[in-house]
Structure 1
């Protein structure tokens, strides 16, 4: 598995990595998915305190108990939640961030987190206070690096200017090309890496593209109408070949830009994991192929996310 440097840090992430939100609450099943991912060479696991109101971190923690030294672990903070009420509110305060990391460390069964991320954010937040919290946690040694999970260009630019973030997690795939228009070159120029979540566009760019698009495209997708989505997936499936699966193609697409450190996919079954691991056997992406995929879709821009 090839690895890519995360910003200017000394963290090197596998090109594809496992987003843990979809693992579910069956500990045995989740542990098997994680074990097989790690055995295949994936070294980055991404979770968050809000996933299943802390339960996801607990499950991940148990699964990695004897393999902590083999992995880079990412989690997120910023949603102040009540597990019993299953409710939460946005809270990027220094007090909550510093309490949140203690809670996450306990659930994860570890004494440090490799990448700690602010799980959202708006331009109205006290950004300097949030940054101060992350910087203190880094100095204390409970986190190695920090980043943000955001698709708001104005927020991302402020953190790039005012903080030492090494990464931004954002949705990016061949259908959601918003990062291409405004963010990828900017972040690359600032030595900040992208963790691309949703690389398979909810399955509409997977080996099951037609089936998934038929089920999910009734309300369209972003700025695409249902008719456009079905037409795109019809053309997209023509790219399935012996050289690469559609899953592999989707992952290769987001990894084409040098700003992207890792494509973070979810898996709720071992079968889904294996479909994505087909990436390891795929023929390399070419400039011509990348251009053809771009031509299928729209160069949409961020609109309301400011």
Structure 2
């Protein structure tokens, strides 16, 4: 295996700003509000921003690039490729053929208005293309100076090792939250041993763990969560019971459920949460969460309510679940 990967900083960031929701994934967001949210994150000292070419078919990268402007030099910017575009999740396919890698990167560079990407992720492993073929093409982007480091999403140790034998894997992203604890089974310890970073996206359960959503009708018509099993029917009701238990514990501490859920994601210090936000006050929430001092007995109570597998329903639709390589 090649030498251990390096990232721009030796220390993992407290949290990463995830920008997916700023371009309508969970409902409409005013562009001025989106810009104010990114500005609040930067003003608070945040330096890590995560986007993808898939988000709003490239419009998210355009927004991020426009909002950063001259501040780009102060930010560790990550984006992803691998999906083909489509209005709904079930219309999107994967295409990670080697010949698609550099054109996809060049398109992201143009949209972001930058000459390099700090961490370039393969959004999902394409089961029709050997990871070695895709990874070799991605490694050439590093050689050309277009990308500084490479990452993978939703993979397990086997895929990681195959890629790392060709070029260092700097970071891995997978869903990680109170109701998506699968990375704890193996991947967190594995990545720590490799010297790679782990970033957990959907750290607030796509907003559900905040307790703000009380019934399925609270989702706007275009909200992508309507297609996810955890937010449907009996699953919704059972998961709301988990959230209500979290809200009760948070209330005892005088904090919000969102703050407590985000603080939980950082308690092991082996993972950095990717926290989405759609308003400046969400940044304030995240900053408060990272400053929380939580007694061990509260963590124990939370773990009892949210053991591995506690959530009702799969994370994604059946077709989207087939694209996950987290156990491999």
TMscore range, shorter length: 0.7 to 0.9
Q: Any conservation in 1 of the 2:156–2:187 contact (CA below 8 Å)?
A: no
Let me know the Cα RMSD of the aligned residues: 3.2
Name 1:238's counterpart in structure 2. 248
Match 1:253 to one of 264, 275, 281: 264
TM-score, length basis structure 2: 0.79
Structure number with the bigger relative contact order (C-alpha 8 A, sep ≥ 6) is 2
1:267 is the counterpart of 2:271: no
Distance in 2 of aligned mates of 1:147 and 1:270: 28
1:169 is the counterpart of 2:199: no
| Cα deviations by residue, 1:11-34 (Å, 9 ceiling, x for unpaired) | 355312211111127432221111
| Cα deviations by residue, 1:122-168 (Å, 9 ceiling, x for unpaired) | 45432111111221111211111110122566534543555411111
For the structure 1 residues 161 and 244, does the alpha-carbon distance in structure 2 shift closer, same or farther, using more than 3 Å as the test?
farther
Name 1:299's counterpart in structure 2. 308
Q: How many residues were matched structurally?
A: 295
More moved, 242-251 vs 71-80:
242-251
| Secondary structure, counterpart of 2:46 in structure 1 | coil
| Cα deviations by residue, 1:54-106 (Å, 9 ceiling, x for unpaired) | 111111111101201111101001124489xxx65311122211111111111
Name 1:3's counterpart in structure 2. none
Match 1:290 to one of 299, 311, 318: 299
Distance in 2 of aligned mates of 1:198 and 1:64: 23
Q: Any conservation in 2 of the 1:267–1:273 contact (CA below 8 Å)?
A: yes
| Secondary structure, counterpart of 2:168 in structure 1 | coil
Distance in 1 of aligned mates of 2:162 and 2:231: 28
| Secondary structure, counterpart of 1:14 in structure 2 | coil
Distance in 1 of aligned mates of 2:150 and 2:54: 17
Distance in 1 of aligned mates of 2:204 and 2:86: 31
Name 2:7's counterpart in structure 1. 9
Match 1:43 to one of 40, 47, 65: 47
Distance in 1 of aligned mates of 2:72 and 2:12: 15
Q: Any conservation in 2 of the 1:247–1:278 contact (CA below 8 Å)?
A: no
Q: Any conservation in 2 of the 1:203–1:212 contact (CA below 8 Å)?
A: no
1:243 CA drift (Å): 5.4
| Secondary structure, counterpart of 2:210 in structure 1 | coil
Name 2:143's counterpart in structure 1. 139
Name 1:278's counterpart in structure 2. 288
1:271 CA drift (Å): 3.2
Distance in 1 of aligned mates of 2:192 and 2:264: 17
For the structure 1 residues 208 and 69, does the alpha-carbon distance in structure 2 shift closer, same or farther, using more than 3 Å as the test?
same
1:212 CA drift (Å): 6.0
| Secondary structure, counterpart of 1:258 in structure 2 | coil
For the structure 1 residues 161 and 288, does the alpha-carbon distance in structure 2 shift closer, same or farther, using more than 3 Å as the test?
farther
Name 1:101's counterpart in structure 2. 105
| Residues 23-62 of structure 1: pairs in structure 2 closer than 5 A | 23-24=22-23, 26-62=30-66
Match 1:125 to one of 120, 129, 138: 129
Distance in 2 of aligned mates of 1:44 and 1:10: 10
| Residues 75-94 of structure 1: pairs in structure 2 closer than 5 A | 75-81=79-85, 88-94=92-98
Distance in 1 of aligned mates of 2:46 and 2:248: 29
Q: Which ranges of structure 1 fall in alignment gaps of 5 or more residues?
A: 1-5
1:189 CA drift (Å): 1.6
1:264 CA drift (Å): 0.8
| Secondary structure, counterpart of 1:202 in structure 2 | coil
Distance in 2 of aligned mates of 1:81 and 1:123: 18
Distance in 2 of aligned mates of 1:171 and 1:212: 23
1:18 is the counterpart of 2:17: yes
Q: Any conservation in 2 of the 1:150–1:156 contact (CA below 8 Å)?
A: no
